Chains A and B, each alone.
Chain A
Amino acid sequence: MSADFLYIIEVILNGLMAGVMYSLVALGFVLIFKASGIFNYAQGVMALFAALTLVGIQTGQIPFSHLINAIFGTNMHHFGWQVPTIIAILLTVGVMVLFAIIVERYILHHLVNQEPIILFMATIGLAYFMEGFGDIMWGSDIKTLDVGLPSGGSLWLEEYTLGWAAEGENYYGMYLDKLDMVASLVAIVLVVSLTIFSQYTKTGRALRAVADDHQAALSVGISLRTIWVIVWSIAGFVALVAGIMWGAKSGVQFSLSLIALKALPVLMLGGFTSIPGAIIGGLIIGVGEKLFEYSIGPLIGGATENWFAYVLALMFLVFRPQGLFGEKIIERV
């Protein structure tokens, strides 16, 4: 095999794994959209918030210490203990459930029956609020997240593929990040368990009923409010997983919330209502943008990853407005 060919395979594999990361965020969007018709722009900030909370609990940070210091002139920052990772994760899940309850009670509950676009703008407001809140609670410095996930390139793979290139070519083996591989595994487990949950449990069935028709679901005795709390909790959990993966990869910081912007074109491509769509859309975008950057990028100045996903999704939408797997929109008079 020629080295060029191997490079392309490497680019595709990396793209696939980047795509999995996008899918992880997109998944949270799809869950909430299906259950409540809300396009939750705050999903990315939820990931940031979850990751911040996890790090904060793990390292024993005092919440709101900056605020307390500013008001009382004290100088506190840590309790001085370390919380084991698994307990910290459980506590963070608890925080995300609490968050879901608060969102349902104080926001969703008041916005029932509003137009989708108003709800969308409300989640933008929510995103801003949470961003400021998270920063005040845990501080805005860049934090490292260590939950024991492997990192760095896989040496084994590099050595294994070293010999694949043709004789005499300058090839150092394939570089894949171990963290990305773990993330892919986690994503697969997450999708499978979510599918099982929604297909084979009573709550899952209620969830699908609500997604189909709010009023019909209400009339057979399903509590909309409980379902929303459950869905936002699950979305919070998915956000935590995404936050852990992205946080371990590039540190917990403000830019983490921008992954929401990456997930949007994934959704446009995959359709807002389809879990497999979110996965496949993520993979297409991941591979597409890496290949585009690799092949066309150098010709036009690079950094095409910023917009490629959007332009691809846009062109796609013009021809198929409901996305790859979305339900066909039939207009009635």
Chain B
Amino acid sequence: MSEPLQQMEAASKLLELKNIDLSFGGVKAISNISFDVMEGEVRAIIGPNGAGKSSLLNVINGFYHPQQGEIWFDGKQRHAMKPYQIAYQGIARTFQNIALFKGMTVLDNIMTGRFTHMHKNMFWQALWKGPAEKEEIENREFVEHIIDFLEIQAIRKTPVGRLPYGLQKRVELGRALAAQPKMLLLDEPMAGMNVEEKEDMCRFILDVNDTFGTTIVLIEHDMGVVMDIADRVVVLDYGRKIGDGTPDVVRNDQTVIDAYLGVSH
């Protein structure tokens, strides 16, 4: 590889994990994992149950702190940060089990996603009229774009608790998008969906990637979906990385095939 190309590659790395080790008590969840995420790509993490995929996402957005290893985000090394600080850095996520705010409407849920973009202090908010209202309306306009984009105009004012599962997933995606993140982490965005809903969700993910240029890291079990939409794939098994590359490379990798199909000893 020539020198300039290497430099270019280094510049466009949005996230890099180096030798991450994470354990709970005596149980090792992740051991010595390193991989990178390029700016603007769709990166998938796959692996059998208990391979450490969700733990890895939790490390990325600061919910778990790895015992060892380095995390580089946006060209800077990151030291132990709280999850809310990481949100300000531009990482948003959705959850495996829907984590919406059940007592709030769809609109309020997505507006909450704008939290990091609103700055008026308590005094102005108490007055409402003036700066706080202006800020609220500006952000409301942005949120309405997302509502249009996700085609959920009709349920804007419905409390999320009343919505069906597929729509809740969509609202959760909307809430993450509202933060205008540099990187979006999706934890099994298509789990429990039927084919049609999956197709919708795939379309939204690719659209997000295209129109907003958001880098996407997703965990997914549906291999068909992963191979279709991911630019590169990381394969985990028992907390170790056993494969990394484009879908084609990964598909033909013997270790990966063994992990998925089992190997006779």
Contacts and interface: CB of A to CB of B under 8 A. Distances in A.
So, do A and B actually touch in the complex, CB under 8 Å? Answer: yes
A333 B58 CA distance: 8
A194 B254 CA distance: 59
Interface string A306-333: 0000000000000000000000000001
B63 interface: yes
Nearest to A330: B24
Interface in B88-132: 95
Nearest to B24: A330
B54 interface: yes
Contacts of B58: 333
Contacts, number: 4
A53 to B, nearest CB: 42
Size category of the A interface is under 10
Contacts of A333: 54, 58, 63, 95
Interface in A114-160: none
Nearest to B55: A333
A333 B63 CA distance: 8
Contacts of B63: 333
B175 to A, nearest CB: 16
A333 B96 CA distance: 8
Contacts of B95: 333
A154 B54 CA distance: 65
Nearest to B96: A333
Interface in A212-232: none
B117 to A, nearest CB: 24
B251 to A, nearest CB: 30
Contacts of B54: 333
Nearest to B61: A333
Nearest to A331: B63
Interface in B32-83: 54, 58, 63
B51 to A, nearest CB: 16
A289 B169 CA distance: 53
A251 to B, nearest CB: 46
A232 to B, nearest CB: 30
B260 to A, nearest CB: 25
A333 B97 CA distance: 9
A97 to B, nearest CB: 38
Nearest to B93: A333
A333 B83 CA distance: 12
Interface in A231-255: none
Nearest to B54: A333
B168 to A, nearest CB: 17
Nearest to B97: A333
A333 to B, nearest CB: 6
A333 B95 CA distance: 8
A322 to B, nearest CB: 16
A41 B58 CA distance: 38
A333 B29 CA distance: 14
Nearest to B83: A333
Interface of A: 333
Interface of B: 54, 58, 63, 95
Question: Which 4 residue pairs across A and B have the least CB separation, nearest first?
Answer: A333-B63, A333-B58, A333-B95, A333-B54
4 contacts: A333-B54, A333-B58, A333-B63, A333-B95
